[in-house]
Structure 1
Amino acid sequence: MKLDGRLWITRNGKNLAGQGRIELLAHIAESGSITQAAKAMGMSYKAAWDAVDAMNNAAGSALVQRSVGGKGGGGTRLTEAGQQLIESYRRYQEEHRRFLERLGEDLQLESLLQLMERLNLRSSARNQLAGQVLSVQAEGLNDRVEFQLAGGQVLHALITHASTARLGLEAGAQLCALIKAPWVHLLAADAASGNGDNRLHGHLAELHADAEHTEAVVELDGGGQLVAVLSTAQAQGLQEGQAVQLLIDAEQIILCA
């Protein structure tokens, strides 16, 4: 796996000069012109000089010097301190590049990155479940995606062909399923009635009720958790620790990958 990254150095909780300002110094060294360096960085002339002034002031000695007129027509150049800063930073960049190469060789990295992406996912859906695709079957204008949760239980989602292609879903692919709590229907474990493409099993871990609604937190058999919202009248008789089953329509599962 090839990884890319930018190098930022932090000390005592504060970000120090990053790659952008070092690149600006490098362009000044190459071109001898603040105008050309600013153009190469995609920034204005004023912004470039403001950055240079800030670096000069922070360094305590000039990193960049500007000469006006003269035989050479003037220009901008790095001082010895500026050159040393670039050389040092490039050594750290090289070490950073080698680190990314070694990290990319870690066979467990892909699963870790996928987990980090899911942890960073923000959604209004209360339920977010990770799974692995078992099969994808065409069903009319849609595809039925069968996937297995980490705890072993299986769900089906019905999505369009275009969505399947866009997400790159095939057997073995990792995905995340989003399910809004009101879409989860809760029944007693021994109930035979109820419609739904998916029937999961677990037990009630928590119940939170107000005058109108009850929020039921269900620990799934094998691991994982789902939240269902039902009316307080429907929740009458439910008790924490009770075995239950959850019904979910395949069309009410949103997939992301």
Structure 2
Amino acid sequence: MKLEGRFWITRNGQRLAGEGRIELLARIADCGSITRAAKVMGMSYKAAWDAVDAMNKAAGEPLVERSVGGKGGGGTRLTAAGCELIERFRLHQREHRRFLASLEEGQAAPGALRTSARNQLTGRVLAIRPGDLCDEVELGLAGDQRLLAAITHGSTERLGLSLGDSVLLLVKAPWVHLVDEAGALQGELRELRRGASHCEAQVELPGGVRLTALLGIDAADAMRLRVGQRVGLQIDPQQVILCL
């Protein structure tokens, strides 16, 4: 099993460039023509031109422009802003790949996201349901389990979320609640550590993902928790943080 993900560069909530658009810009730079670049990429001229036009508008300045004169009588070339966008995207792309590799290895690589949240897991956007104030985002996890996140409309736009996107989920341990097997998520209690006033429980979900929950001693005793026990987990959708 291999983690995969993609990201977009956005500006003022508008999608500016992803891997496909960056590849198109690079081809235009190489070919000096949108027509030839589109042919190399196996796309129509209209699709290529629409992508270039959308990038120019989202960037707020031309990334691609027509050139005149020269040996071939002119053509198409990237502006300085277009060249800089390619360079920035590829830099971020390398860091993104390093980050995914670090998640697979179960450790944080230099430059990866560092956070106090104990639970970091990946999910895929299955649905986005707009509400009065917040959007409900349905996420698919490993092991065919699902989790809901509630985020504001502005957050949805700022992240540029769309169906199929791979996202990172952050959940603090006190926000993970152990319940009976009727919980939203199902798993097996793998570790239970008792402290003076609280217990730390590690629950493994199908697919090998582990979540850490923090609960009081009295609550743990009332549930008669034991390693190997099947338990349910509930997480308030408003306490799920999404990252791209």
What TM-score, normalized to structure 1? 0.53
- 1:232 and 2:224 are equivalent in the alignment: no
Residues 179 and 252 in structure 1, CA contact (< 8 A), matched pair in contact too: yes
SS of 2:219's equivalent in the other structure is coil
- What residue number does 2:235 align with? 248
**CA 219–132 in structure 1, closer or farther in 2 if over 3 Å, else same:** same
**CA 154–162 in structure 1, closer or farther in 2 if over 3 Å, else same:** same
Structure 1 distance, partners of 2:143, 2:208, is: 5
1:112 Cα shift?
A: 4.0
Please point out which of 126, 129, 151 is paired with 2:121.
129
- 1:208 and 2:193 are equivalent in the alignment: yes
One-letter identity of the residue aligned with 1:156: L
SS of 2:128's equivalent in the other structure is strand
Residues 153 and 222 in structure 1, CA contact (< 8 A), matched pair in contact too: no
1:150 Cα shift?
A: 2.3
**CA 152–112 in structure 1, closer or farther in 2 if over 3 Å, else same:** farther
Please point out which of 151, 163, 168 is paired with 1:171.
163
Structure 2 distance, partners of 1:114, 1:171, is: 22
Structure 1 distance, partners of 2:143, 2:120, is: 14
Please point out which of 122, 125, 133 is paired with 1:141.
133
**Deviations 1:135-156 (Å, cap 9, x if unpaired)?**
1110111111111112221111
Equivalences, count: 148
Pairing of 1:105-116 with structure 2 (within 5 A): 112=97, 115-116=100-101
**Deviations 1:51-71 (Å, cap 9, x if unpaired)?**
xxxxxxxxxxxxxxxxxxxxx
Structure 2 distance, partners of 1:220, 1:117, is: 20
**CA 110–169 in structure 1, closer or farther in 2 if over 3 Å, else same:** farther
Structure 1 distance, partners of 2:129, 2:179, is: 29
- What residue number does 1:188 align with? 180
One-letter identity of the residue aligned with 2:216: S
- What residue number does 1:161 align with? 153
Residues 218 and 226 in structure 1, CA contact (< 8 A), matched pair in contact too: yes
What TM-score, normalized to structure 2? 0.55
Q: Which structure would you say has the larger RCO, counting Cα contacts within 8 Å and 6 or more residues apart? A: 2
Pairing of 1:32-71 with structure 2 (within 5 A): none
SS of 2:144's equivalent in the other structure is coil
Rg larger for: 1
One-letter identity of the residue aligned with 2:142: A
